[in-house]
Every structure is written in C-alpha cells, then in structure tokens.
Amino acid sequence: MANTISLSEPFVNSIMVTWSGLQLERASVQAGPYVLVTQIPYVPSQTIYNFTDSVGAITDWYRVTRYAPGPVYGPYSPPWTITSPPFPRRSLANCRQVLARRMHSFELVHTTTVGNTDGSTLVGLQMAGTGDNNRYRSWWVLISDQLAPSALLGQVRKVGDLALATTDGTLNFPSPKWPAQVPAGLQLEFHQLLPPTQNLHGVTGLTECLNAALRECFVPDRLLLAGSSSTAVYDLASFGTWLEPAAIAEMWYSPTGNAALPLPWPGFVDWRSGSTVNLGAIGLPTNQNVGIEVSRQGDTLIRTSGVWTDNSSGFVNDLDECLFQPEFLAEVALVHAYTALASSSAGTDHAEWSARADDQRRLVNILKLRYLEHVSERASHLAGSGIGYGADWPLLVR
C-alpha cells in the first residue's frame, strides 16, 4: 500500500533563511532505525508539503527534520504512525459509534505493537495498567479501520475470560483467533453491551438497531415519471418494492415544460394490483416529466460508493451513508437497542431495560414529529388506501 504524508511549515519564508527543506524518514518500529525516504525542498510561501510514500506500510513510523547544506540537520519531530481518515458523518460507521457512545458502552483502542503472527493477540498500550485482567471480558472487538488488511477489515471477536495482560496491554484471543496478524497503528472499536454489526451469539447488533430506526423514519421524495399521451395507467413497480399506494401524496406537473415550476396535477388515482402499484392519470403529454411526491422509509435510499441507491437493504457497509443526522438516528435506534438488551436479560435487568425502551419510545415519537418533514396531502387524496401499511401509513409518517 502507500502512505500519504502531509507536512506543515507555517513560517516557511523566515525558516528558508536558515534551512533548505524537510527530510522525511521511515522505520518499521517506533525505536528505529530510521532510513531516508525523501528530501522536500522549501518553496516560498508554500506552507503545506504533501508526499506519497509508495512503499510505506500501515505499520511504519515516520519522523521529520529540517536540513541545510553541509549537511546540517535540525531536531527531529516525535515519531508518528499513519492514522485512518475519519468516517463520513452520516455513514454506518459514524452512526454506530454515536449510538454506542450514547449507550456508554464504547471505547476506541489503538494498536501500538504488532500482534502474534497467528492472530491470537492484539496490543494497545492504553489498555495496560488497569490492574484488571477481565477489564474487557465479554466485550466485542470490531476492526473497522479502513487501513486494516482486507483479511481483518470488518472482523468481530468476543473477548474471553482473563484475556488482558495488564502489564503491556496485550489482549488474547485463543479461539477463535483473528484471521491474520493484527498490525500496529490500527484503530479498533470495543463494544460492551451489544455486538457492533449483526446478531452475534443470539444478541441483536447495532447495525440492526440502526436499520430498524431507518425503517421507521420517513422522508419526502419526488419520483420522476415520464408522461405518455397514449397511456392512462402507469405501472410504478420499477420504483421499488417499498412503494405503497398510500405513500403517494401528490403529483406535480410543469404546464409549460420541464424547466418551469411544477403545479399539482388536477386528478389522479393509485391502487395496488397484486405485485404492481398503479397510477391513473389522464392527459399527460409524452416526454413530460411528472413528479410523484411520496413518503419513503429511510432504509430505502442509501448512498453506496458515492451513489444514492434505491433499495430496501439499509446500511450494509461501513461507508454507506443515510439521509439523517447521526445524533437523531441514534436516538431512534436506542429504542431498539434497549429492547434488544431487555430481550437478552432477565429479572431486574430485564425490567430496567424494558422501562428504558418505553421511555425512549415516548421521547422518539416527539422527536420524529418535530424533526421529520411530512408530505402535505390534498383533501381529495388522503393517504390510507391500498394494502401493506394501508391506513396505518399516515400514523407511521407522523
């Protein structure tokens, strides 16, 4: 792989009086030895210097010093290692971390030394010195760092009994082991109460909670339908299996062309016929776009690989993005997280988590009413027809 290094010299013009540029060095371990990677000459008034180390590895360490003819070198910077780029704000990974923090059951751990070659350990110095070998017992560890080797990315393991060596921060995974050696410089997610992804060991995962939250959060959307003067009934099945007749609130049409502001179409009807959702509208000119305004569930519109995709899968990959702010989505997902904890507990714990789920549901209903945007309905076309959600659809939207 390659590592991109960004170096800053905010006072470059004054420094150029004494120094010629920056010397970048690399080592496989923090203590060295370090070898020369490149020398970057100063440029007047240029304060940022970027360099791509094409042979750099995620486990490598770097340091930098100023150089001048002679050669003469200045003091070295503290060594540093490569860090992962932040996740997009509305991505699954960021929403998961926001939800886990809201549950007070989350830690980020950075590996500081490579683990065993057989994948049986990982090492993070910040875990040392706790004095408790069971500090992370029954926690789930997720490798979500985008710089992780492909064999490790997305892997989850549960911490066993007496797994932590408190002297050096070594965490042991005798079985099952990680599928590859865990390198240094990775950022790992530690989750205490619920597994970070899907159902594990009979416990609902955080991804499932977030997707359940997406399914109950509705957003307005306008689907473009090409008109045809020879058609009175349009098949809307191609827009997706999520679409119900009761979700359709309005039709918008530009009387003087697609570039004009749209106005409500005089009349339309919608109904379901088996697997098909039909829309009846007479007199639509050929090749004129009509906007069908609908309320759709949040899990049916996800940004994947930079493209907003119409599906009903919700979050799948860590870099998938949704339409909602993560703080709002986490509040809705908390209902499902507390319910999952109630389902996996008994006695007083079950009663406590159930009560939290009930309290959170009341809060979320108010948040959804105030936060979500609701599609207006004309008096001649109230939602509530069809099957599926049917008459309950307006209640879910509101």
Residue 60 CA to residue 32 CA, distance in Å, equals 10
Residue 392 CA to residue 387 CA, distance in Å, equals 10
Per-residue model confidence (pLDDT) at position 264: 87
Residue 282 CA to residue 85 CA, distance in Å, equals 53
pTM given for the model = 0.78
Residue 142 CA to residue 152 CA, distance in Å, equals 9
**337, exposed or middle or buried, with CB in 10 Å at 0-12, 13-18, 19+?**
buried
Tens-digit pLDDT string for the chain (398 aa): 578 888 989 899 999 999 999 999 999 888 889 999 999 999 999 999 999 998 888 778 899 999 999 999 999 998 888 777 789 999 999 999 999 999 999 999 988 888 999 999 999 988 988 889 999 999 999 999 988 888 999 999 999 999 999 999 999 999 999 999 998 888 899 999 999 998 877 889 999 999 999 999 999 999 999 888 888 999 998 898 889 888 898 899 887 666 678 888 888 899 999 889 999 988 888 888 889 999 999 999 999 988 998 877 899 999 999 999 999 999 999 999 999 999 999 999 999 999 999 999 999 999 998 888 877 777 666 544 433 343 344 444 43
For the chain, what are the domain ranges? 3-81, 106-192, 213-397
Per-residue model confidence (pLDDT) at position 117: 95
187-191 and 140-143 beta bridge pairing: antiparallel
What is 3-81's CATH number? Answer: 2.60.40
Per-residue model confidence (pLDDT) at position 379: 65
Residue 390 CA to residue 193 CA, distance in Å, equals 36
Per-residue model confidence (pLDDT) at position 257: 63
